[in-house]
């Protein structure tokens, strides 16, 4: 059992498997990790980057989920399904709809910036402890509230007027649903729209060009043959505070903190989330500084 291995590996989830199926039937089975998790659920039909967390790294899932993402999506216009993608039941078809290139470009620009987006009913969002998608399948009426997200950029990669289809690259904040984005773009163009292919190409510092695919994974004999990112590496976007050696045990025991326990206490500390490291740059905690007080988010013993 690889119980002493801790870190994050950048894997490529194939289409046709849920994240749990991919992680448990392939990754966990092959390497026999004691604990394993992943960050950022991908739909079964979607593919791309899936950061897999090994052993103690499972503690940082929520921090990785907060990272910005990038997706490449194929969107087909003139059709509407219940799941907002190609796997769903067709609700309506717009047989006379023809894409207009200038109008598409103009419409895509409308969605860049901070916007409110209503998540798909077929999603993993919890309502009273149950997934929205499970409630819908059980015949329940599900109403999800719009949520604020941020779309940094939308790039039009290709355009096929015969298929009424485009391919776009979307850079966005956490919580963005590309299926919902496609739906809303379609509405703006007075038609239906669904996602026919979805690839997550970036997640935080992870890039698709470095992701290990299923075929490569199956050939690997030992975990040491894989690039394993440290917890400190993947959380590097958070600024760090270095604790004085005499106060390290305060943190490991969850005692109250103040700014004078840190080497860099002379610098002003603004509200936000920080990595706490020791003098050897080992990550020992994640804390939030707010209203001149420190709050523990996670301690790594």
- pLDDT tens digit sequence for 246-300: 999 999 998 999 888 999 766 678 899 999 999 999 999 999 999 889 999 999 8
Q: What is the CATH number of the domain that holds 17?
A: 3.30.2350.10
- pLDDT-derived band at 104 (thresholds 50, 70, 90) equals very high
User: What pLDDT shows up at residue 269?
Assistant: 85
- pLDDT-derived band at 87 (thresholds 50, 70, 90) equals very high
Average predicted confidence (pLDDT) for the chain: 91
pTM confidence score: 0.91
Give the lowest-confidence range in 95-104, 159-168, 172-181, 198-207.
95-104
Beta bridge partners of 179: none
Please indicate, yes or no, whether residues 210 and 61 belong to a single structural domain of this protein: yes
User: Among this protein's residues, is 278 annotated catalytic?
Assistant: no
> Of residues 57 and 267, which shows the higher confidence score?
57
User: What pLDDT shows up at residue 265?
Assistant: 63
Please indicate, yes or no, whether residues 75 and 171 belong to a single structural domain of this protein: yes
How many domains in the chain? 3
Assigned domain for 255 exists: yes
Sheet of 293-299: strand order equals: 240-242, 272-277, 283-290, 293-299
> Of residues 4 and 163, which shows the higher confidence score?
163
Assigned domain for 1 exists: no
Question: Percentage of the chain with pLDDT > 70?
Answer: 98
Please indicate, yes or no, whether residues 183 and 272 belong to a single structural domain of this protein: no
Please indicate, yes or no, whether residues 62 and 211 belong to a single structural domain of this protein: yes
Q: Is the dihedral of CA 167, 172, 177, 181 positive or negative?
A: negative
Please indicate, yes or no, whether residues 210 and 188 belong to a single structural domain of this protein: no
Assigned domain for 2 exists: no
User: What pLDDT shows up at residue 2?
Assistant: 62
* pLDDT above 80 (res 128): no
Q: What is the mean pLDDT of residues 40-67?
A: 93
Say what the alpha-carbon torsion angle 107, 112, 113, 114 is, to the nearest 10 degrees: 60
Give the lowest-confidence range in 112-121, 129-138, 224-233, 239-248.
129-138
Please indicate, yes or no, whether residues 46 and 78 belong to a single structural domain of this protein: no
Domain boundaries, position 86? 69-203
Assigned domain for 252 exists: yes
Q: What is the CATH number of the domain that holds 292?
A: 2.30.130.10
Q: Which of 43, 85, 184, 278 is catalytic?
A: 43
């Amino acid at each position: 059992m690889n119980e002493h291995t801790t870190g994050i590996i950048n894997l490529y989830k194939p289409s046709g498997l849920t994240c749990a199926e991919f992680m448990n039937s392939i990754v966990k089975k092959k390497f026999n990790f004691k604990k394993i998790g992943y960050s950022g659920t991908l739909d079964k039909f979607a593919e791309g980057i899936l950061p897999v967390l090994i052993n103690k790294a499972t503690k940082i899932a929520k921090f990785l989920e907060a990272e910005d993402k990038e997706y490449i999506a194929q969107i087909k216009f003139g059709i509407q399904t219940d799941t907002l993608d190609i796997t769903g039941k067709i609700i309506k078809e717009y047989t006379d709809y023809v894409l207009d290139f200038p109008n598409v470009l103009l419409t895509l620009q409308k969605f860049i910036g901070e916007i409110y987006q209503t998540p798909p009913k077929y999603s993993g969002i919890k309502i009273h402890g149950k997934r929205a998608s499970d409630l819908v399948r059980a015949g329940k009426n599900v109403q999800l509230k719009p949520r604020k997200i941020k779309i940094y950029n939308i790039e039009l990669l290709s355009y096929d007027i015969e298929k009424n289809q485009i391919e776009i690259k979307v850079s966005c904040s956490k919580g963005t649903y590309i299926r919902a984005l496609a739906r809303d773009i379609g509405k703006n163009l007075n038609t239906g729209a669904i996602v026919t292919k979805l690839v997550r190409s970036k997640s935080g510092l992870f890039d698709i060009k470095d992701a290990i695919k299923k075929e490569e994974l199956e050939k690997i004999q030992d975990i040491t043959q894989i690039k394993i990112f440290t917890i400190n590496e993947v959380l590097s976007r958070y600024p760090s505070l270095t604790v004085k050696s005499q106060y390290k045990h305060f943190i490991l025991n969850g005692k109250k903190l103040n700014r004078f326990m840190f080497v860099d206490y002379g610098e002003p500390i603004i509200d936000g989330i920080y990595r706490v490291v020791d003098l050897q740059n080992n990550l020992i905690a994640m804390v939030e500084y707010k209203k001149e007080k420190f709050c523990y988010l996670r301690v790594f013993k």
